[in-house]
A and B are shown apart, each in its own frame.
Chain A
Amino acid sequence: MTSDDRILIARILKQNDQRAYSELVNRYQSRLRYSLRQLTGWDEALADDLAQDTFIKAFKNLASFKGESQFYTWLYRIAYREFASYKRALKPVAPLPEILTEILPDTHHANPMTDVNTHRDLAHALAQLPYEQAASLHLHLHCEFTQQEVADIMGAPLGSVKSHLLRGKNTLRVLLSSWQTNASDKGAKQA
């Protein structure tokens, strides 16, 4: 936890200073909302609702935060619980092969990896994976949490996280190779 976070949290707990919490929300809102967009197939409204619920629950439970981890990590733990409970309430998605081509975008440009749309495309691809795999991949590969931290955030054994990562990567490789093939074909036709 950064010293700034620690000071702000102390002000909230001791002086009930809600402006200090406003600073914390402002500090982390972008990263958390981006992560939730990645996990919800870039559904901006849903991601913002989940992020809002996360920050409200974090405020209510701030006294239970012991500072043993980064505040950011603790926040992600709450966010993941919100996201997982939302996903569990949903019906199962269609099997992957039937929808594989639907998620592959035809909006690839000269430098697709720097295009803002690529963030959405990856979010759409992640949304096709089981949510535990998508979350493991995003938390580990994008947010750069260690595998143990991912396990803590997800409340899962380390072995399960490793398994989710392996399976998620394999599935994503299929999705991305088709994506690259489509992009190459499209480029060849245009040439």
Chain B
Amino acid sequence: MNNHPQRDVSDDIFRRLRKSEPYLEDNGFTAAVMAHLPKQAELPLWQKSGLIILFGLIGVALAASMLPVQITPLAPLAAMLTDHIVKLEVFGFTAAATFTLAGAALWFTQHEM
């Protein structure tokens, strides 16, 4: 008399193969995977900060160079605050350019180089 319940033949073969599953030697597989991973350069914090400040200053300088008169990079702000010579649009453009370039610098430091 068979006390065991009827086993499905596929259950049985899978069970037996599971127990005898071979370990596949690495044979360079892991190294091949690692070689294909995207490289990411991690910069120290001081370098990241330096790059952001540098790009910010470049943005200010670029914006100032587009003004109709030769002035220092901080002149637009000073002028607007004193005698309102510089229009608000110019200040806005300066700020937008600065933030755009600073944002680009931030992205640059966090992604592939």
Contacts and interface: CB of A to CB of B under 8 A. Distances in A.
B18 A144 contact: yes
Contacts of A118: 13, 17, 20
B21 A56 contact: no
A119 B8 CA distance: 18
B30 A29 contact: yes
Contacts of A48: 29
Nearest to A56: B36
A167 to B, nearest CB: 12
Q: Is the interface of A mostly helix, strand, loop or mixed?
A: helix
B37 A59 contact: yes
A129 to B, nearest CB: 11
B11 to A, nearest CB: 6
Interface residues of A, number: 37
A169 B10 contact: yes
Interface size of B as a range: 20 to 34
Nearest to A24: B30
B20 A114 contact: yes
A33 B24 contact: yes
A149 to B, nearest CB: 16
Contacts of B36: 52, 56
14 contacts: A16-B40, A16-B42, A22-B34, A25-B29, A25-B30, A29-B29, A34-B24, A51-B29, A55-B33, A114-B16, A119-B21, A137-B14, A141-B10, A169-B11
Interface of A: 15-16, 18, 21-22, 25-26, 29-31, 33-34, 48, 51-52, 55-56, 59-60, 113-114, 116, 118-119, 122, 137-138, 141-142, 144, 168-169, 172-173, 176-177, 180
Given A25-B30, A29-B26, A118-B13, 17 more contacts: A18-B37, A30-B24, A30-B25, A33-B24, A48-B29, A52-B29, A52-B36, A55-B33, A113-B13, A119-B20, A122-B17, A141-B18, A142-B21, A168-B10, A173-B9, A176-B10, A180-B9
Interface of B: 8-11, 13-18, 20-26, 29-30, 32-34, 36-38, 40, 42
User: Lowest 5 CB-CB distances: which A-B pairs, in order?
Assistant: A141-B14, A30-B24, A113-B16, A55-B33, A172-B10
